[in-house]
Amino acid sequence: MAAPLDLTMGDLAATVARGDVPALEIAKASLDRITAGHELNAFLHVPEAPLLAAARSIDEKRARGEKLGPLAGVPIAIKDALCTHDAPTTCASRILTRRGPDGRPSTPANGWRPPYDATVVARLRAADALLVGKTNMDEFAMGSSGENSAFGPAKNPRDPSRTPGGSSSGSAVAVAGGMAFAALGSDTGGSIRQPAALCGVVGVKPSYGRVSRFGLVAFASSLDQVGPFARDVEGAARVLSVIAGEDPRDSTSAQVPLGDYLAACRRDIRGVRIGLPDEYFAEGLDPEVEEAVRRAVARLEAEGASVRPVKLPHTRYGVATYYIVATAEASSNLARFDGVRFGLRIEPEHGDLTAMYGATRDAGFGAEVKRRILLGTYVLSAGYYDAYYRKAQRTRTLIRRDFEAAFRDVDVIATPTSPTPAFRLGEKVDDPLAMYLADVYTLPASLAGIAGLSVPCGATRATSERPALPIGLQLLAPAFAEEQLFTAAAAVERLSSA
């Protein structure tokens, strides 16, 4: 038998449920892997004692003869934007930490301790998963490279001089680096799909409303969605099956029945109608990425899928629309970080309340978060609201209509996830606009609220400059049609590894 950490997720859960391998052994092996991968900076906090206690309690439950949950003993990492009652939650921001009593710089260890678990975290615990740690990210999920973390960037396991993508960087690294079987991330404009592509793992952005956001620190509330990373498509389907579904604590969680995502992975691709939008194969697309994506789609066609062109004419307005809508919402959501109730507080001597707000937010937020708060405040301010915010909301309607029209003719849309493979750390840090343009293929689906997924479909050729880098294929489906994504993604996975 393969070592437990090298099994598939389904086999591991079955092995633990049978009692062949204790959950405690899996937990300890995961901690060893995390220690070995330390230099990748994937984790901000690894709550060792609660992890080992949870593993023991899973083993005791089984010893009592109780049936274990569907993720029994499966090591899963959690993006640090999700609340955990037994581990600090910082969003990789200093504003969610306290200064040490001696005035030392704040660290994740003295991060905010939430009084509750996010619903998705509670559901993973109830499924007997092992929560191995809180992962690094761009501060408040704002970024595409992980470099906006206040605690240093996570690094791509394929080439540590390169970015793993972002904002859910540590979650992608934890899975790609073998430190966890799966991870949770959040995707506001591509923050699950893009790092999944750059790290060579599967990442799912469920439809808006599919998964509860209770306990997810809010960035842009009309866009944010929680979703899984996993080593393979089936693993992602297993985790989504556990976390998805209506939650009375989140009024935006939808009362729409769940699909059978695992069964969908095993469905035939024959007869599935796949759309290829010209607008996603445009200037700026790396030739090797284009080649790999087109080759994967051709293989689906050879297996009996029907492939046809579709038009998404407002794609080019996605970046501008997103950076108005998302920053406007962020400027409002991040108003709650004011030093009053939790986290950092800086009280200037003889200062009043306003001075405390200003000083706390200046010291607590990094440059990108400040930039977005300023931009969002600007586009909502008197005199500019119509020109920017209202205009963007109307453009958002046009982008939604593009997808509605396209999905009248096809079941799924296939595109590159990212225009390039993993870029170098530092390459885009001085140019915010260039960084924003890295998300050009993932933003429109977020604005439309539809379902998306990134699945590995190949790699670049290794050169003397760089090793082979993973390439991701993005699949998009109408809202709540995640099953169609899993059917197509499983076929891409099977045919790409053949």
Partner 1 sequence: MAITKETVLHVARLARLELGDDEVTTMQRDLAKILEHVEELGRLDTSGVPETAHVAAEQAPLRPDLQQPSIPTDTSLAEAPRRAGGGFAVPAFVDE
For partner 1, the closer of residues 269 and 448 by Cβ is 448
Q: In this structure, are residues 139 and 83 in contact, taking their beta carbons and an 8 Å threshold?
A: no
- Closest contact distance (angstroms) between CB of 155 and partner 1 is 26
Residue 306, classed as helix, strand or coil, is strand
Which of 38, 308, 336, 394 lies at the binding interface for partner 1 (CB under 8 A)?
394
Which of 28, 98, 273, 311 lies at the binding interface for partner 1 (CB under 8 A)?
98
Two structure tokens written together for 18:
């049978």
- Closest contact distance (angstroms) between CB of 376 and partner 1 is 8
Q: Please tell me whether residue 219 binds partner 1 under the rule CB under 8 A.
A: no
Q: Is 57 a catalytic residue?
A: no
For partner 1, the closer of residues 278 and 347 by Cβ is 347
Catalytic residue among 30, 79, 93, 149: 79
For partner 1, the closer of residues 309 and 351 by Cβ is 351
- Closest contact distance (angstroms) between CB of 316 and partner 1 is 8
Catalytic residue among 144, 145, 149, 191: 191
Number of residues that bind partner 1 (CB under 8 A): 73
Q: Please tell me whether residue 61 binds partner 1 under the rule CB under 8 A.
A: no
Q: Please tell me whether residue 116 binds partner 1 under the rule CB under 8 A.
A: yes
Which of 27, 31, 112, 226 lies at the binding interface for partner 1 (CB under 8 A)?
112
For partner 1, the closer of residues 307 and 320 by Cβ is 320
146-154, 187-195, 264-272, 343-351 -> range binding partner 1 (CB under 8 A): 343-351
- Closest contact distance (angstroms) between CB of 228 and partner 1 is 21
For partner 1, the closer of residues 148 and 496 by Cβ is 148
- Closest contact distance (angstroms) between CB of 449 and partner 1 is 3
For partner 1, the closer of residues 321 and 454 by Cβ is 321
For residue 253, the Cα-to-chain-centroid distance in whole angstroms is 18
Q: Please tell me whether residue 254 binds partner 1 under the rule CB under 8 A.
A: yes
Two structure tokens written together for 169:
């960087």
Q: Is 205 a catalytic residue?
A: no
Q: Please tell me whether residue 193 binds partner 1 under the rule CB under 8 A.
A: no
Q: Please tell me whether residue 404 binds partner 1 under the rule CB under 8 A.
A: no
Q: In this structure, are residues 415 and 193 in contact, taking their beta carbons and an 8 Å threshold?
A: no
492 vs 297: CA distance, rounded Å = 8
Q: Please tell me whether residue 339 binds partner 1 under the rule CB under 8 A.
A: yes
For partner 1, the closer of residues 24 and 344 by Cβ is 344
245 vs 498: CA distance, rounded Å = 34
Which of 29, 258, 356, 468 lies at the binding interface for partner 1 (CB under 8 A)?
356
Two structure tokens written together for 326:
């998302």
Q: Which of residues 122-151 bind partner 1 (CB under 8 A)?
A: none
292 vs 136: CA distance, rounded Å = 29
Q: Please tell me whether residue 388 binds partner 1 under the rule CB under 8 A.
A: yes
Residue type at position 210: R
Query: Can you tell me which residue has the tokens 């490279």?
Result: 145
- Closest contact distance (angstroms) between CB of 482 and partner 1 is 15
Q: Which of residues 296-335 bind partner 1 (CB under 8 A)?
A: 314, 316-317, 319-321, 323-324, 331, 335
| Sign of the CA dihedral with 96 first, then 102, 104, and 110 last | negative
CA angle 140, 187, 11 (to 5 degrees): 115
**Binding mask of the shown chain, residues 224 to 253, with x at each position contacting partner 1 by CB under 8 A:** ------------------------x--xx-
Helices (H), 127-283: 169-176, 193-199, 233-243, 261-265
Q: In 96-172, where do the E strands start and end?
A: 130-135
117 vs 209: CA distance, rounded Å = 19
- Closest contact distance (angstroms) between CB of 448 and partner 1 is 7
For the chain, the distance separating the N- and C-terminal CA atoms, rounded to the nearest angstrom, is 23
Catalytic residue among 167, 171, 212, 253: 167
446 vs 437: CA distance, rounded Å = 15
143 vs 122: CA distance, rounded Å = 27
Q: Which of residues 265-294 bind partner 1 (CB under 8 A)?
A: none
Residue type at position 60: E
Q: Which of residues 428-447 bind partner 1 (CB under 8 A)?
A: 432-433, 436, 447
Q: Please tell me whether residue 336 binds partner 1 under the rule CB under 8 A.
A: no
213 vs 115: CA distance, rounded Å = 16
For residue 454, the Cα-to-chain-centroid distance in whole angstroms is 11
Which of 193, 273, 188 is CA-nearest to residue 229? 193
79 vs 136: CA distance, rounded Å = 7
C-alpha gyration radius of the chain: 22
Q: Is 497 a catalytic residue?
A: no
Q: In this structure, are residues 406 and 275 in contact, taking their beta carbons and an 8 Å threshold?
A: yes
Residue 111, classed as helix, strand or coil, is strand
Which of 374, 385, 405, 409 lies at the binding interface for partner 1 (CB under 8 A)?
374
Residues belonging to the active site: 79, 167, 191
